[in-house]
Structure 1
Amino acid sequence: MRARKGSAQAPRQGRERMAWKKHKRVMLIGSAMAMAMSTPALAQQGSSSDGSDIVVTARRTEERLQDVPISITVFNQAQISDRNIVTAADLGTYTPSLSTNTRFGPDKASFAIRGFSQDPATSPSVGVYFAEVVAPRSAGATTGGSGSGPGQLFDLQNVQVLKGPQGTLFGRNTTGGAVLLVPNKPTGNLEGYVQGTLGDYGQKRVEAVLNVPLADTFKVRLGVDRNKRDGYLRNRSGIGPDAVGDVDYLAARLSILADLTPDLENYTIGSFSRSDTYGILLRPIACNRSGLNQLTVQGCAQIDRQNARGDDFWDVENAHPDPRSYLRQWQVINTTTWTVSDTLTVKNIASYSEYEEQTRFDLNGLNVQPVAGRPFNYIIASHAPGYPTASQNGFTEELQLQGRSSDGRFNWQIGGYLESSRPLGRSAAFNPINLSCTDYFNLQCQNGLDPTKPNYSAGTITSTSWQLASRSIGLYAQGTYKLTEQFSVTAGVRYTWDRTTAFAENLRILFPQPNTPLLTCSNSIRYPGASLAIGKTVTDRSQCHVDYETSSQKPTWLIDVEYKPMDDLMVYGKWSRGYRQGYINPNVIAFETWNPEKVDTYELGAKASFDGAVRGYLNLAAFYNDFSDQQVQVNALARPGIPIAGANVTVNAGKSTIKGVEVEGSISPFDGFKLDVGYAYLDTKLKAIVFPAIDPNSPYGSFVQPAVGDSLPLTPKNRVTVTGTYTLPLDEAIGRIALGATFTHTDSQLATARSNPFGLLPPSDLLNLNMTWSDVLGQPIDLSAFVTNVTNEKVWLNVGNGYNSIGVESVLPGAPRMAGARLKTRFGN
């Protein structure tokens, strides 16, 4: 048993008074900073105004941002700290065209770029790479894994968000883009820092980095990040913890750089992270008062309780006595670089990783009152006793050859890639649905709602166990040839072979009599018409074993033309093909597998830099995506009278178009002041949708269908981010004081099918402030303060999508206003 943090037995009122005192102290810092703020600002420390020293690795080699024909947003470590970017979910606040899906919590956030989203149990549409290695897969039922896990966003050189298909040079084929996390390499200096953060909701964070050159040819860098914060969603049910939505992670990283010879470098990174929180919880906001079923009545009663108490937007009712979201991940990456000659470099990148996840929580935030003194659960998502929700290892191997012609006109690279993800053991889930249980793990359950009332649905437990293995092999080549000093052509091609296999043992447990379970295999259940035929009854899960397999092989490519009429101006046009592999979700019935999707992207762009009295840069990109065989997650509704909840299933159902414009710019009109603007316009449209036929014996009778003409999920039409910084004109002996602010507007965006009247996320306006005092009084000390969501905007992050099935809709509230202060001390060089 882990120690409970702020359990229901703790003296809640005392904790709330202490939290409020801390809140007032930290808010005084934020208020003083806001009063001092006279000009909005963007802190881009360590970067010149025209972007000339912003180096990116978007084409697997170091290049200036302004020389790369890709739409890219870049954040250095100073910007990450100033904006209080702690999790992957925070990146979406500051990056036009990038959205994050936090339906299962920020520690399991997935990315969507230009409308290409990742649904649970699918291969990601946006690849996340740390030190050039793709994030480990999880093979679980949520969006956990395959992304930026807790504790990765510290001690970085930069974060690069690449928009558009990355189907040639990068390890895993993706349709939406890539997010590159570039850690700081060990240096030849003895140096480091310790930084502490105190903030609202009891936040305490300590970061420490030590860089030691043990020899001229052997350097070591060690970093640790420990972060804790209480939950911002106050639990009003009296069940379980006082609050959810907390942060509690530990991350550590060890990097070793060895120059084996003057031409041979070996770079090894070992990283570890562990996060253990209560997870998040949705909040019911609307119900169908006409009453679809008994759950609708219960949902309406919960909303009435919320209103009677005067609950605010961040008050929820938890029904699970011990919710948990646990993630543990470790990874070792080894990169060997051999400079064969001035014109040829050989690089080998190998990695091994392990990922584990345990999840248990109330899926819909519906706190149904006890039935005859027995707790009732609508849907509990939980790992099975003794088993994780996901447990997977990963191995990658990539060999690159990079070269150039002796005259420098032709630059090329070729390579081969292997990724293998295999189970460490069985993963298992145990999900009570529509049941009243005193001990559901020991099957002490009965159908909880009154069977004499209309629209009664019998309860069930879905007990599933599975293993999934995935393999991807790719061969690629890409080259850029300068026809003239101004005119270049780039062409790249890749061929990828993907294969995924899985088995599942899906058990469905019914309760025809209280505490009397009846076991049957989910895949053997048949429902002719509306009457239930149980099918094959079993005594053991192993009797339900079913194997699945899906494979695909596809070419992807890139053709790009670049023209530089002058050193500070580039225009480009390109056509690229991307594809996302088909995959398997062994935990659904009748829709376990789906096929690949593909996209053709056509893009025109321009990048300009300017210097002189006014310095800055401006980057523009216009794109059109033709999207085929789209992987769509839809809600399948059970037939009337069938004891099964609706399910989110993935099918190849759509053809869509995505077009838009992206703008990234920075300007310094006078000394000490810089203004950055990011803007994205997205016009997404579902052009056609054809669902697979539903087997007449399937438990599902219909789909909640997205309508042709609808926009794609998580694609706001307009998003603009304006960030600026003003550095006070002070004597160097005082230090450098910079005041900053960021404003982000996001249009409304579809979260689910438009047939759901609450499926549209409202628009939002977020204001964040920051202040940094570097080199305080000439000492190696930095002080900073931040306030996020200054106006306490009530932001919907996602919806539960229950209105069409149970007549109750819930939303996931975004974080309220939070403030904090940091103290950083540096040592060495």
Structure 2
Amino acid sequence: MPARLSLKPLRRPEGWRVNVLTQALGLALSSQVCTAFAADYQASPETVELAPLTVSARLNQESAKDIPFGLSVIDGQTLETRRLRTLEDALRTTPGVDVNSWGGANDANVRIRGVGSLNQMSMDDGSVVLNVDGVPMSVRNAAMATLDVQQVEVLKGPQGTLFGRNSEAGAINVTTRKPTRELEGYVRGEAGQDGQFMTEGAVGGPLTETLAGRIAVRRSGFDNWVDDQQDGDPLTKPRDLALRGSLLWDNDAGTTGLLVAERQRAEHYAGLEILRPFGNRPSLDYTPGTFDGNQKTNERYSFELNHDLAQARITSVSAYTSTDLNAVKGYDRNITRALYGSPSEYLIEDSAHERVWSQDLRLGSLPEADVFWVSGLNLSRSERSFDSDNFTNGAQQRRDFTTNSYAAYGEVTFPIAEDWKLTTGLRHTWDRKTYGADYSSAGSVTGDSRRLQDNYSTGRVALAYALTPQTNLYAVLSRGYKSAGFNDYATSVKDSEPYKAAKVNSAELGFKHESEGGALSLEGALFITRVEDDHLLGYDFNTLAVSAVNADTRSKGAELSSTWHVNDELTLSSAVTYTNAVVTSDAPGVSGGDVAAGNRVPDVPLWSGNFSVAWKKDLPYLLGLPAPRLNTLLNYRLQKNRPADPQNHYDLSGYAKLDLHLGVESGGSEVYLWGDNLLDARYDLYGSYSTAQVTTGMPARGRSAGVGYSYSF
């Protein structure tokens, strides 16, 4: 086994006990204060009356308090005010969720509660399913823009019962804004440091008595904070264009139809590896323009039909999605000099195309029914290619994949005694996958063809107890599964051996409280998850060859979060998560050294937390504006050290990130200043290990600020 780095051994940081106790005590005290004040709300003239938080975490509208598992919800207003422009941005701010990304448009690997692939094997190998308006997509699309989004729900724990395969860790449920029968819309524009800009707008309203429409568009971009050493300019200047149009038909007799067409294109994004340490201004030694051809395009076309019967609702969701990717990746002259002793550009170009047809047909209870139930059938077909061209040695790989998946599912929640409810759900899935490839090297071509089939069941059982009308306790046991498949990056017949399926068993005990009127919400959970045969890449840094390796993991921890609308001016929110995730079996044959049982899961910090203060204050007078109002949001994100790789060679440092929104509203307009990472925290998006002398990674953006304007009508 290679020698381990001696400068930063994996250990608890100094003062960790004090920091942990301080965070836990602070949150506990804030919760106690909230509880104490909550008793006085009804007598207070400033009592805040809010509608109960509703979610579609179980494919129907329900109160979040009634969902028997943990979830985090980010509403559209928060996405806008905190400038969470992509799903990846939103996930990074959610305690208990960890994202490993190289900075490209196709690189995200998401873990929830420490559960997820140690490295992803393929576009089809996701531990977290992404669901947009009822349409499943690969979590590799986490870089998608949060354009005109109503709500993002992060569902924690295995979600295979209702969301299907590849949701062993959880699911991301995105709901976009729908057309209404009233004319409404908004425009927004921003400009800031490092070439950051964004223009966005949406408008919707009635078209006929039964038809309404909505259209939304966003154009945005920035200059990469990594420079090109050869000309001193930003290495890339990524640009995004997102468009969505929707039509809603409602006959006022229990039947609705929603047609959505969406297209998002990301250009000039690049997954980057930079030799550590990065220095004050990170840079790479590439020929200028190397990544100018990088692009990724996502399209989604879906039609949802709902019809209400006397005691049930029929729902059909038909969808077609496509993804087209072209991306150059590799090592710059700095890394090749350190690895091989001579500077050169080692470049590979990947091209990927995916077409997915899906159909979900279900019958379920009406919203607010005494007994919740849903049953359905799901069909999908994926046709996908992933091709690679090595510019250095001329090797080529042409890989084609198909997946046919069929599933039947059902879940029911019903009362079994006064104040007690039982939830039980089951899904059975049939997967059929094929793989075909041609590997070209030194003038010879080798063919490869494989097939596999996988049949499996997932499900959960939960027991909930209404301690009071405002407080629910719950316990849930879940069985998850991540299907077997084929390696996207195989360069030979040996590399294309299918990876094993991952099996998940999870237990969770928690509570949810929502005060009468909704001013105070408080929830917490204890959890433990065991995964058998999770996925890890065996990666050769000399040849870039990749093989499939499996390892068992275990994750346990606790979560506590609260939101308190003190009055119509002040809202306090806090969340803290403790996650202890470790590898529980040896995994030999991985570049950089064998993975040993007892190592911590990479990218998962023991502690992370978030605290925000939102303050709105009427101003008596400002420049003659009608009814001016101060709009302030301060968000503080804290994360402790986390391992850089499965071998635990070194830690990525913890960080504290502070963001600010400071605006003045008048009527439907707002002019605001924004500040991102005001403390200029220097933190890593990921880290990698080649040798004791060569480690690489990707730093996040430092401090930046700008201005913005929005108008809503």
TM range (shorter): 0.7 to 0.9
- Give the SS at the match of 1:244: coil
Residue 419 (structure 1) aligns with? 380
RMSD over aligned Cα atoms: 2.6
Paired residue for 2:645? 752
Is 1:121 aligned to 2:121, yes or no? Answer: yes
Q: How far 1:709 moved relative to its partner?
A: 0.6
Give the residue type in structure 1 aligned to 2:347: I
Once the two structures are TM-superposed, the CA of residue 364 in structure 1 deviates from its matched residue by 5.9
**1:729 CA drift (Å):** 4.1
CA distance in structure 2 between the partners assigned to 1:338 and 1:611 by the alignment: 32
Letter in 2 for 1:318: Y
Taking the aligned partners of 1:633 and 1:125, their CA distance within structure 2 comes to: 15
Q: Which residue of 1 aligns with 2:71?
A: 72
Aligned partner letter, 1:633: L
Query: Offset at 1:611?
Result: 5.2
Aligned: 1:281 with 2:264? no
**What is the percent sequence identity of the aligned residues?**
21
Distance 1:608 1:376 in 2: 60
How far apart, CA to CA, are the structure 1 residues paired with 2:533 and 2:632?
48
* Contact map agreement 2:250 2:257 (CA 8 A) in 1: yes
Quickly say closer, same or farther: Cα 1:658–1:250, change in 2 above 3 A.
same
Matched-pair contact (CA < 8 Å) for 1:787–1:819: yes
Q: How does 1:107-256 map to 2 (within 5 A)?
A: 108-118=107-117, 119-122=119-122, 123-135=125-137, 137=138, 146-151=140-145, 153-238=146-231, 242-244=233-235, 246-256=237-247
Contact conserved, 1:165 with 1:177, CA < 8 A, in 2?
A: yes
Query: Residue 783 and residue 626 in structure 1: after superposition, are their counterparts in 2 closer, same or farther (change >3 A)?
Result: same
Q: 1:681 aligns with which of 545, 554, 578?
A: 578
Q: Secondary structure at the match of 1:708?
A: coil
Q: Partner amino acid for 1:617?
A: S
Q: Which residue number in structure 2 is paired with residue 721 of structure 1?
A: 610
Alignment correspondent of 1:625: 529
Q: Secondary structure at the match of 1:591?
A: helix
Residue identity in the other structure for 2:510: G
1:686-765 to structure 2, matched below 5 A, reads: 686-691=583-588, 704-730=593-619, 733-754=626-647, 756=649, 759-765=650-656
2:508 corresponds, among 558, 578, 603, to: 603
Unaligned runs of 5+ residues in structure 2 are 1-46
Partner AA of 2:142 in structure 1: S
Equivalent residue in structure 1 for 2:659, among 760, 765, 768: 768
What's the CA shift string for 1:246-265, capped at 9, x where partnerless? 43010000000012562221
CA distance in 1, matches of 2:49, 2:584: 41
Q: Which amino acid aligns with 1:416?
A: L
- Contact 2:88-2:142 at 8 Å conserved across structures: no
Question: What's the CA shift for 1:727?
Answer: 1.8
User: Secondary structure of the residue that 2:79 maps to in structure 1?
Assistant: helix
| Residues 397, 269 of structure 1: alpha-carbon distance in 2 compared, 3 angstrom cutoff | same
User: Tell me, what secondary structure is at the counterpart of 1:377?
Assistant: coil
Find the structure with the greater CA-based Rg. 1
Could you say if the C-alpha distance between residues 256 and 276 of structure 1 is closer, same or farther in structure 2, counting changes exceeding 3 Å? same
1:418 positional shift: 1.1
* 8 Å CA contact retained: 1:399, 1:417: yes
Q: Deviations over 1:267-312 (max 9, x none)?
A: 01100011111424332126xxxxxxxxxxxxxxxxxxx8xxxx52
1:432–1:495 Cα change, 3 Å: same
Secondary structure of the 1:555 match is strand
**2:599–2:648 contact (8 Å) kept in structure 1:** no
Deviation at 1:690, TM superposition (A): 5.0
Deviations 1:66-99 (A, max 9, x none): 2212211111111001111112321233200111
Say if 2:441 is the partner of 1:508.
Answer: yes
Query: In the aligned structure 1, how far is the partner of 2:503 from the partner of 2:461?
Result: 17
Equivalent residue number for residue 585 of structure 1? 487
Helix, strand or coil: the match of 2:346? strand
Name the counterpart of 2:454.
552
TM-score by length of 1: 0.75
Work out whether residues 549 and 584 of structure 1, in 8 Å CA contact, stay in contact via their aligned partners in 2: no
Task: Give 1:660's aligned residue.
Answer: 557
Supply the distance in 1 between the matched residues of 2:360 and 2:687 (Cα, whole angstroms).
40
Residue matched to 1:330: 299
The one of 344, 349, 352 equivalent to 1:382 is 349
Instruction: Sort the Cα spacing of 1:427 and 1:626 in 2 relative to 1 into closer, same or farther, 3 A.
Output: closer
Is the CA contact (8 Å cut-off) linking 2:365 and 2:374 kept in structure 1?
A: yes
Which position in structure 1 is the counterpart of 2:545?
647
Q: Which residue of 2 aligns with 1:824?
A: 710
- CA 1:170/1:244 → structure 2, altered by over 3 Å: closer, same or farther? same
Aligned to 1:419, what secondary structure does the other structure show? strand
Distance 1:349 1:607 in 2: 31
The TM-score normalised by the length of structure 2 is 0.87
After TM superposition, give the deviation of residue 483 of structure 1 in Å: 2.1
Question: Which letter maps to 1:735?
Answer: P
Which position in structure 2 is the counterpart of 1:780? 668
Contact 1:550 1:584 in 2 (8 A): no
Structure 1: which amino acid aligns with 2:202?
V
Deviations 1:446-503 (A, max 9, x none): xxxxxxxxxxxxxx34311111111221110110111234110000000011222111
Q: Aligned partners of 1:98, 1:252: CA distance in 2, in Å?
A: 28
Distance 1:106 1:651, change over 3 A: same
One-letter amino acid matched to 2:668: P
AA aligned to 1:431 is N
Q: Does the Cα contact within 8 Å between 1:282 and 1:365 map onto a contact in 2?
A: no
Q: CA deviation at 1:689?
A: 2.3
In 2 relative to 1, CA 319–648 (structure 1 residues): closer, same or farther, beyond 3 Å?
farther
The alpha-carbon deviation at position 772 of structure 1 amounts to 3.2
Report the Cα offset of residue 347 of structure 1. 0.3
Q: Is the 8 A contact 1:582 1:597 kept in 2?
A: yes
1:344 shift after superposition: 1.1
In 2: Cα distance, 1:163 partner to 1:357 partner: 29
1:514 is matched with which residue? none
Change beyond 3 A, Cα 1:671–1:428: closer
2:360 corresponds in structure 1 to 398
Q: Deviations over 1:378-405 (max 9, x none)?
A: 531214xxxxx10111111000100369
Counterparts of 1:615 and 1:278 in 2: how far apart (Å)?
42
The residue number in structure 2 matching 1:795 is 683
* Per-residue CA distance 1:690-745 (angstroms, 9 max, x = gap): 55xx8xxxxx9x77222211111121100010111122243594233122211111
Alpha-carbon contact 1:364-1:810 (below 8 Å) kept: no
Residue 69 of structure 1 aligns to a residue whose secondary structure is coil
Cα drift, residue 127 of structure 1: 0.5
What is the count of residue pairs matched by the alignment? Answer: 654
CA distance in 2, matches of 1:581, 1:177: 15
SS across alignment from 1:58:
coil
Residue type at the aligned position of 1:723? S
Q: Distance in 1 between matches of 2:95 and 2:422?
A: 28
Cα deviation 1:511-538 (Å, max 9, x = unaligned)? xxxxxxxx2xxxxxxxxxxxxxxxxxx3
The CA deviation string for residues 642-671 of structure 1, in whole angstroms up to 9 with x for no partner, is xx525343222x222110101121124455
Aligned 8 A contact 2:593 2:647 in 1:
no
Matches of 1:714 and 1:344, distance apart in 2: 44
Unaligned runs of 5+ in 1: 1-47, 138-144, 287-305, 384-388, 434-459, 510-518, 520-537, 638-643, 695-699
